[in-house]
A and B are shown apart, each in its own frame.
Chain A
């Protein structure tokens, strides 16, 4: 039972354009969401997060939007750069106070120069 789903395995965009990565979840008890970025042969690195009390969080070129009624979050990267090419994972807190996360399957983003 996949509680966090990233339905697009891959995405390709042109440099300078917007990248939009999507994530859906099924458990309405999730109250904290994160995005991680992973380059090949490296561990994932934390990118940005959002609490369920917000609907938007912005950090430089990266913005995460949360739509609780639709159980959907998205990561916007504007403008996209070739160095953004990586696998992006969304994650949700699995259970309060344990730090446990549930990850989606990942989306591979390719930004073409």
Chain B
């Protein structure tokens, strides 16, 4: 069974703080993804990575960066958190093309 874990289920941060969201998958998947989910907007891709140290911007990368130093771990970084980054953040991984496995999500609130 594929398992994708995220470091926190709920997180509250202050405006201007640097925030790290961690994601770990245990199935040796090549591809990893970070999304945010907002009501009425569905899942929007922030960044993805198709190999260690490789990354590519998604549809809404502004205000975010990522790091993939090891195959199993993909980190999302909010350099200076803002209130419009309050959202549900979802990490996913995939081996075969397209079928992605998601973690449980991190509900981030920025005050």
**A residues adjacent to B (C-beta < 8 A):** 4, 6, 9, 32, 34, 36, 41-46, 49, 89, 91, 93-94, 97-106
**Which residues of A lie under 8 Å from residue B81 when comparing CB positions?**
none
**Which residues of B lie under 8 Å from residue A4 when comparing CB positions?**
42
**Which residues of A lie under 8 Å from residue B99 when comparing CB positions?**
34, 46, 49
* Nearest residue, chain B, Cβ from A3: B59
Option from B9, B43, B97 in Cβ contact (under 8 Å) with A103: B43
Asked if B110 lies at the interface with its beta carbon under 8 angstroms from chain A, I say no
Whole-angstrom CA separation of A80 from B43 in the bound complex: 25
Option from B4, B100, B104 in Cβ contact (under 8 Å) with A101: B100
Whole-angstrom CA separation of A104 from B41 in the bound complex: 8
Q: Which 6 A-B pairs have the closest CB atoms?
A: A43-B102, A103-B43, A105-B42, A99-B31, A103-B42, A44-B102
Number of interface residues of B (CB under 8 A): 27
Whole-angstrom CA separation of A41 from B42 in the bound complex: 15
Q: Chain B's nearest CB lies how many Å from the CB of A29?
A: 14
Option from A43, A49, A98, A106 in Cβ contact (under 8 Å) with B92: A43
Q: Would you list 6 pairs from A and B whose C-beta atoms are within 8 A, ordered by A residue?
A: A41-B105, A43-B92, A44-B102, A99-B94, A100-B58, A102-B45
* Nearest residue, chain B, Cβ from A46: B99
Option from B4, B9, B50, B105 in Cβ contact (under 8 Å) with A99: B50
With known contacts A41-B104, A41-B105, A42-B104, A98–B41 Cβ distance under 8 A = no
**Which residues of A lie under 8 Å from residue B90 when comparing CB positions?**
43-44
Whole-angstrom CA separation of A67 from B100 in the bound complex: 24
Q: Chain B's nearest CB lies how many Å from the CB of A89?
A: 6
Q: Chain B's nearest CB lies how many Å from the CB of A104?
A: 5
Q: Is the Cβ of A100 less than 8 Å from the Cβ of B43? A: no
Whole-angstrom CA separation of A9 from B40 in the bound complex: 8
Interface residues of B in 53-76 (CB under 8 A from A): 56, 58
